[in-house]
Amino acid sequence: MRRFLLLAWVLAALAAGLAAQLADAAWVAHWLWRAAALPVALHVAVGLVRALLGGRLGVDAVALAAILGAIALDEAAAAAVIGLMVAGGEALEAWAEGRATSALTDLMARAPRHAARIEGDAIAEIDVAAIRPQDLLLVRPGETIPADGTLEDDAATLDDSALTGEALPVSLRRGAALRSGGVNAGPAFRLRATHDAAASTYAAILRLTQEAAAARAPLARLADQWALGFVIATGAMAGGAWVATGDPLRALAVLVVATPCPLILAAPVALMAGIGRAARRGIVVKGGGALERLARIRTVLFDKTGTLTPGHPRLAAIDADPVLGRDGALRLAAALAQGSTHPVSAALVAAAGARGIDVQLPQDVTEVAGGGVTGMVEGRSLMLGAEAFLHEAGIDPQDGFGLVAQVAAAAGSVAWLAVDGRAVAAFVMADGMRQEAPRAVRRLRALDIRRIALVTGDRAAAAQSIGRALRLDAVFAGQSPADKIAVVRVEASTAPTAMVGDGVNDAPALAAADVGIAMGAHGTAAAAQAGDVVLLVDRVDRVPEAIAIARRSRRVALQAIAIGMGMSVIAMAFAAAGLLAPLAGALLQEAIDVFAILYALTALRPARDDQAGGALSPEAGLDERRREHAGLRDLAEHLRSAGEAIGTATRAPDLAAIAARLRGELLPHQREEERALYPEAAARLGGQDPMAPLVRMHAEIEALAERVAVLLRLGAAPEGWHAAAPELRRTLFALEALLRLHLSVEEEMLAGLDAPPR
């Protein structure tokens, strides 16, 4: 506020002096202009003394010398304009910093201060500091969630745009975990607090925001160093012009146009603009120093679980006794898994639900930590767990399942099911890649990141499969936290290195890297505190976006400095040659300052290559099509099962049902994608016909589905099955492979066109 008051005083006095000059009251005008300049000189002198007491020469020395010199040489108008330049520069800096940090300011302004706690039949208004775990809170429409918790009602709609940068609201169901800071965009709902307000997500974000706003960037300090040299050069040029010509006005003109506002203002404004832009995209950068280091990164190291993978296992494949069948085995395993809290158990229950399999409640369930679970289902004694768990009960799970064990060694872990003392099924579990991970790695390559590696504590087989799929340069598996630090230090010795992780065991490595990037949406507090950059959105593709923003901000800062100071140096040369009077120089320098700061603010805008993409409209139906993918993957599993069951003398039992699903489920899904989803996605992705490969796959899938129908008709004729069976078997396998490939490719292509998954 003081800066704007000073500017108002200078403008008023300058205008009054101009009016007096036009009224032929020159002596009044001169005193008014002096009155405009002297408070600014006093303000600058105080700042200069503070800088000297801090052990450095303030760059405002040039401005102070220019004002005092103009008054001494009876150039009152020039003194007033210099005062306007200084006061206006500071006010413009304050406005620019406010503009650049508006996203951070919005986060602070939205911090909830009160909450409604449900106490029996009454509602009490309490301070957020009084919230305790297990409190039942009421969140009204438009209110900000005050603390982390779980949803106690059937549904809620949240607007997380201020936290994640995504404009589309998200719908959540009962039991969903809600983060503080989101805004209720629907009807009121009840929330069961899991943390107090101080330990919740939004409070941590505010602390990170305050750190980001308070930190001073190395580029700003470097600008101060350049400014010090510039002060010396300015004094030499001004003194030289005076000595050479004997005209003190030339020295004054040099001082006037030499005020290094572009140097001392442009760098911090551009960097704060970058921090503000990052915040709007759900990326909290802890200050300009972190932003500068991020801009220089050339090596990126990723953790695996929770970073490149979601961290939640999913069912990848089933091998079962033919008598029981895959669906029968999953029905029993999912029923028993209901009595366990292990992530593998949750994955089995979810897989059964996705396939529409009804499961009974288990009885006499006993869970052994780190081993497995036992119980009774449908009157049978079941065991579900690791290989060692079954071995302890005298059951050899490898008997008849050697192939699955070999597959699991390369692709994931295995949960074994034993019924009445005999192993009958093996469930291959895998922690699949995040949909956006391949795109993130390719974007990093496009940003000239020269080395990308995986550093994980997981076993080599699981890590190598991720490394191969993403085409990483190196994979370091089986790494302890101390090993991760050693890898980071080795990589950082050759190039600036960033480490990306989310867990407690990643925190030391994040702290050891040049830049630690923490997945803060669902990651641990330790990782968020150790990281220099915190991703509030649970998407790994924010990593290359953060680097791109940092590089653009640093580039804009350097360009603003170079342009502003280059123009000032040219003006100094003209002033030293007597071609620029002090008053004209002051007006010119004011224009240079404004231009340099406004140019620095262009760091708020996205780069040209960042403007493609964006969320699709609801009419495109992306969410609906994605939900249908679970059913199509189940269809692919049945295609494989049917192909395996076909013999020249026997028919697969569910071929008619599969043909019906192809007609009623798969083909309508593809037609709807081509009608509504693909045209809008193509417009977002840009380029020449980006959806052509997916449309071509659709055509091939339709051709194979038609072939299945034809072969089934041929096989229904007398003696026709023997001739049709081999070709039908091959067609089912081909259709299954193409369908799985198509689903994976489509999900990756469209990964950046929706709101982040929550």
| Catalytic positions, written as ranges | 303
Helix/strand/coil for 147 = coil
Cα 141 to chain centroid distance, Å, stands at 27
H helix or E strand, kind and range, residue 158: strand 155-159
Beta bridge pairs of residue 200 = none
* Tokens coding 197: 């307000």
Alpha-carbon distance 174 to 153, whole Å? Answer: 5
Alpha-carbon distance 642 to 241, whole Å? Answer: 94
DSSP H helix total and E strand total for the chain: 28, 22
Residue 397 has what DSSP assignment?
Answer: T
Cα 111 to chain centroid distance, Å, stands at 21
* Tokens coding 537: 């959105």
Torsion of CA 550, 556, 560, 562, to 10 degrees: 90
Torsion of CA 143, 146, 149, 154, to 10 degrees: -10
Side-by-side strand order, sheet with 155-159: 170-173, 155-159, 183-184
Alpha-carbon distance 143 to 344, whole Å? Answer: 37
Selection from 73, 39, 23 nearest residue 254 by Cα = 73
Contacts of 337 (CB under 8 A, 6+ apart): 344, 345, 346, 348, 349, 373, 384
Buried-exposed string 206-215: b where 16+ CB fall within 10 A, e elsewhere: bebbebbbeb
- Amino acid making up residue 225: Q
Percent helix, strand and coil across the chain, each to the nearest 5: 60, 15, 25
The CB density around residue 648, as the number of other CB atoms within 10 Å, is 11
Q: What is the largest CA-CA distance in the chain?
A: 119
Q: What is the per-residue DSSP string for 241-310?
A: HHHHH--HHHHHHHHHHT--HHHHHHHHHHHHHHHHHHHHTTEEE-SHHHHHHHHT--EEEE-TBTTTB-
Alpha-carbon distance 583 to 316, whole Å? Answer: 77
* Tokens coding 475: 């994979």
The CB density around residue 228, as the number of other CB atoms within 10 Å, is 16
Buried-exposed string 558-581: b where 16+ CB fall within 10 A, e elsewhere: bbbbebbbebbeebbebbbeeebb
Please check whether residue 446 is in contact with residue 541, taking contact to mean a CB–CB distance below 8 angstroms: no
Backbone φ, ψ for residue 385 (5° rounding): 170, -160
- Which residue reads 């403008």 in tokens? 11
Contacts of 444 (CB under 8 A, 6+ apart): 300, 452, 543, 544, 547
Please check whether residue 297 is in contact with residue 347, taking contact to mean a CB–CB distance below 8 angstroms: no
